[in-house]
Structure 1
Amino acid sequence: MQSPENFLAGQLPTVKDGDGDGFRFAPPEISAGAQTQQAERERRSSSGKLGRDRLPSPAEERRLRRMVSNRESARRSRLRKQRHLEELANQVEWLKSRNMELSRRVGAVTGHSRLFRRDNERLLSEAAALRRRLSNLRRVLIFRHLQTVALPQLLATVPAHSGGFPMEVEQALLAYN
């Protein structure tokens, strides 16, 4: 059913997509001034003989113009709201896809982080083992150096008449040579 205001303005209800309930009045294709004149003609023709004889008063013309202007303003407002809702819906979809993408990236980075930590722990353990081995090898080298170079020099400095090292010590030292 058509409202009296729509009937006066000459608007017919039409079905359009994009509205909450699927129905919306089509925008008028005539100017506001033409709408006012058309509404006045419709009003005069529907009011009988008295309406044809009299002209609309200036107050009634202002009221009709204001009514048409308000309708246009409301239509523009609905269109703005609809565009805004569409923009918000698009933004929601973009944010959802961006969130999924970032979640996948966080998962990948977390996985790589675990691998790096595991490798780091393994390398630290390996480095500690290599340091221990190097320390042991240094001790062996120092001991061999002492046996081959330092011990004979030490034995040469001990005078033979003083009795030198006790016989057991000399034999033990020579046994390591």
Structure 2
Amino acid sequence: MKDEMKDVKDRRLNILVIDRKVKAEVTLPVYNSTSDFDFNFGDHEVRAKLILDSKTIRKVFHEVDPKENPSVNFYFQHDLCQITTNAETLKCVTTFRKDTAEVFDVYSDRDGLTFDYKSAFIKRLRYATNNSIQVSLSMNDVGILSAQFRFVKIDRNHAHVEFFANPMEIAIGM
């Protein structure tokens, strides 16, 4: 693999694989990351946001069982976020308050905002927390979840990965 730097806007990663008589060459565009961790949804404004330490949310993602509970509920007030999973025998509620050491920010533009997402997707987010140091969960005005994972800063470069999820029901007229 070779990272070819032509121009800041036109970076390419060249991958060459040779196996006996077969040769495969792939060139992929590479984009420079920015330090803007709070993704802007464009025309849709952010209605609720939770930024916290990744090891804290990892425990919550680990406890989600898609077989027992089909959805995970996020409930926001101006200074707290509650994540709820319901099963037939057990209901688990985890509360994140703004004034704790593990939570960097909790935002809600009004009290009582509720968002539901498929638990199978939320469970998979656990793997992204293994190498990340910080997690940002943002919901826009139609309920789309933006889950961003910031990784350790290496050689003055920031890196993060972002996943999007649609809500169980589209929030209309929030």
**TM bin (shorter chain):** under 0.3
Report the structure, 1 or 2, having the larger helix content.
Answer: 1
TM-score (norm 1): 0.19
Instruction: Tell me: higher relative CO, structure 1 or 2? Use CA pairs within 8 A at least 6 residues apart.
Output: 2
TM-score (norm 2): 0.19
Report the structure, 1 or 2, having the larger strand content.
Answer: 2
